[in-house]
């Protein structure tokens, strides 16, 4: 897991995170609006065989990764590495909005 902020992004014109992901390409993604208190992936374990990038654009919440809860808020960027168990959870006060991308190396 890597935690960054929007200010840490150094796009090179072709890639958003070349310092962290090299020339990895986004192969799937979208934007998700979590309702207050909503948790993504209710199954006990949720992992990918590729890295996943989250860019949080609104709200606050928690991103548990391998059992460790990481506070999140608008402006945070997380790279969840392949094989790490993760389940995003919105605060109960307001929606959480996240752009997410699965990366292929």
> What does the pLDDT look like over 22-78, one tens digit per residue?
999 999 999 999 999 999 988 899 999 999 999 999 999 999 999 999 999 999 999
User: Does the pLDDT value for residue 105 go beyond 80?
Assistant: no
Distances (CA, A) of 26 to 19, 56, 79: 15, 17, 13
Rounded CA gap, 31 and 97, in Å?
7
11-22 tens-digit pLDDT:
888 988 899 999
Structure tokens at 15: 């890639």
pLDDT for the residue 87: 93
Question: Could you tell me the fold of the domain covering 2-104?
Answer: Jelly Rolls (2.60.120)
Q: What φ, ψ does residue 19 adopt, rounded to 5°?
A: -70, -20
What are the sequence ranges of the domains in the chain? 2-104
């Amino acid at each position: 897991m890597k935690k960054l902020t929007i200010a840490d992004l150094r796009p090179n014109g072709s890639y958003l995170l070349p310092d962290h992901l090299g020339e990895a390409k986004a192969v799937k993604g979208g934007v998700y609006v979590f309702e207050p208190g909503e948790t993504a992936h209710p199954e006990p374990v949720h992992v990918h065989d590729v890295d996943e990038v989250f860019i949080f654009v609104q709200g606050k919440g928690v991103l548990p990764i391998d059992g460790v809860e990481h506070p999140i808020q608008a402006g945070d960027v997380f790279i969840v590495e392949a094989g790490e168990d993760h389940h995003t959870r919105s605060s109960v006060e307001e929606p959480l909005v996240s752009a997410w991308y699965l990366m292929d190396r």
